[in-house]
Amino acid sequence: MGKKEIIYNSEVAVVGFGRAGQAMVRYLHQSGAAVRVSDLRRYDELSKAEQALLDECGAVFEGGEHRASFLEGAELVVVSPGVDYRHLALVQARKSGARIAGELAVAAGRFDAPVIAVTGTNGKTTVTELIGALFAAAGKNVFVGGNIGTPIGEYLLSDDAYDAVVLEVSSFQLELCGDFAPDVGILLNISPDHLDRHGTLENYAAAKMNIFGGERTYSVSNGDDPLCRRFADDTTGLQPAWFGHDAGFDAAIDGGRIVVRQALVYDLEGSKLDNLSGRLNSAAALLGLVPFNLDPQCIQAALKSFEPGEHRLHEVDRIDGVVFINDSKATNTGAVKNAIMQVGGAIILIAGGRDKGDDYALLRNSVAAHVKHLMLIGEAAHAIGAILGDLAPVDYPATLEDAVTRAAEIAEPGDRVLLSPACASFDMFDNYQQRGRCFIDAVQGLRGRTTAAGTMGGMQ
């Protein structure tokens, strides 16, 4: 089946009109479907471009809520990742005979190139970007998208010929993935996350394990992660290729080197990947690329030059011996534990935001070992403080800017001020990127004030 083929003259509803929903609306319209769109925003709250897209596609729109009556008669209901598939309107639509699907299910069977899908609680954006960079270094034309920012619908709309498709896929996307089966499925790790939606760790992990649904999927998983091993053992017939620190793994970490299939050795020394998470991410990416036989020299050069994206353990500045680090993308406890371990030393930790049902007690050992002061912000601030407040002094600044200012006041040379929130950003910001930029702006403002005052001590 070609990627532009879908049932002509069918009635299709798209629930959720964010970036993924907009790309899907455009694709469905161009494929000949009659489209209706449901979104929590009212029509007058949409941008002019969004309104124009609805007009261009002749889409019927309902705003303010998702209503079962609006979905009546739709043969297919495409649910955007941010919408819970258990919503009452979707449950009713399913009972009425509609097929409920996510964007992965719509795309299943419509890929004209091998698909590498990457999931995990942490690191999936970096690994997706890294695999894309390794393909590009080998002279391949690669589509990189999914949860990383470029919707899957954009691939479906494209007429370009790609050598490979690399997708970051979230647990929300994998809940409704239908018959989607990647050629390569990579599971990086599992730690509690999004339990406000999934309910239990088992439900969350079950969604992640859907990445291995295809009989011919080459499966790659983290042998160091006990939950990856546990859920792999529980999956009938699954025999992943493992990466991690065991010398017997298919991709084995040996100091700053990655040994793949006991044959190819890649050196990370001196690169931005030569740290704990970088080595694991590199091992996962290199093992996932085994079926493609890319030029090892191109791969080695790309590993050395790779620059991880913004908002992931990014050093913003050093002011009077104090290092300010932006890890805004750390939206769960697993990511924060990793950040604290990598940063080390004496840390002033800025955390908090909108709670996602995570267990903050998982941070206790890391906080006790390295955190000298806690700056807790947002809706979850006091919940985090109740669990960690006996381990270090706690402040509750009103804003992220206030947290940066207060951290600068108490910091001593050699300290690290680390923004690593363990929470979603949506109580105070539009997304983690905006939160990270706010942190950067606050640190840059600090630099300006300290330059005028002479030292950070002059701010007190």
Strand partners, 373: 348
Rounded-to-integer distance, Cα 104 and Cα 216, Å: 17
Neighbours of 263 (CB within 10 A): 7
Rounded-to-integer distance, Cα 33 and Cα 413, Å: 62
Residue spans of the domains in the chain: they are 11-101, 107-305, 314-450
Considering the domain delimited by 314-450, tell me its CATH architecture.
Alpha-Beta Complex (3.90)
Strand arrangement, sheet containing 257-260: 142-146, 164-168, 115-119, 184-187, 218-222, 241-244, 251-254, 257-260, 264-267
* Alpha helices by DSSP H, 356-431: 364-370, 381-388, 400-410
CA of 93: how far to CAs of 38, 207, 396, in Å?
13, 22, 45
Neighbours of 218 (CB within 10 A): 19
Contact (CB, 8 A) for 446 and 405: yes
pLDDT (0 to 100) of residue 416: 96
The gap between the terminal CA atoms of the chain, to the nearest Å, is 66
Rounded-to-integer distance, Cα 386 and Cα 151, Å: 39
Identify the helix (H) or strand (E) that includes residue 280.
helix 276-288
pLDDT (0 to 100) of residue 308: 85
CA of 287: how far to CAs of 48, 127, 230, 377, in Å?
45, 11, 20, 39
In the numeric block, the tokens 């790659």 are attached to 220
Strand partners, 61: 37
199: left (phi over 0), alpha (psi -120 to 50) or beta: left
Task: Write down the CATH superfamily of domain 107-305.
Answer: Mur-like, catalytic domain (3.40.1190.10)
pTM score of the predicted model: 0.82
pLDDT (0 to 100) of residue 460: 40
Token pair recorded at residue 42? 């009212």
Torsion angle of the four alpha carbons 290, 292, 296, 300, in this order, in degrees rounded to the nearest 10: -80
Rounded-to-integer distance, Cα 230 and Cα 225, Å: 9
The string of DSSP letters for 110-177 reads --SS-EEEEE-SSSHHHHHHHHHHHHHHTT--EEEEETTSS-HHHHHH-----SEEEEE--HHHHHT-
CB proximity list for 289: less than 8 A, separation 6 or greater: 116, 131, 134, 135, 299
Contact (CB, 8 A) for 16 and 82: yes
The amino acid occupying position 153 is G
Q: pLDDT digit of tens for each residue in the chain (460 aa)?
A: 455 555 566 899 999 999 999 999 999 999 999 999 999 999 999 999 999 999 999 999 999 999 999 999 999 999 998 898 899 999 999 999 999 999 999 999 999 999 999 999 888 999 999 999 999 999 999 999 998 879 999 999 999 999 999 999 999 999 999 999 999 999 999 887 676 777 788 888 999 999 998 788 999 999 999 999 999 998 888 899 999 999 999 999 999 999 999 999 999 999 989 988 899 999 999 999 999 999 999 999 999 999 887 788 888 999 999 999 999 999 989 889 989 988 889 999 999 999 988 899 999 999 999 999 999 999 999 999 999 999 999 999 999 999 999 999 999 999 999 999 999 999 999 899 999 999 999 999 988 775 555 555 444 4
Rounded-to-integer distance, Cα 224 and Cα 242, Å: 9
Topology alike, domains 107-305 and 314-450: no
In the numeric block, the tokens 């669990």 are attached to 387
CATH code that applies to domain 11-101: 3.40.50.720
Rounded-to-integer distance, Cα 63 and Cα 61, Å: 7
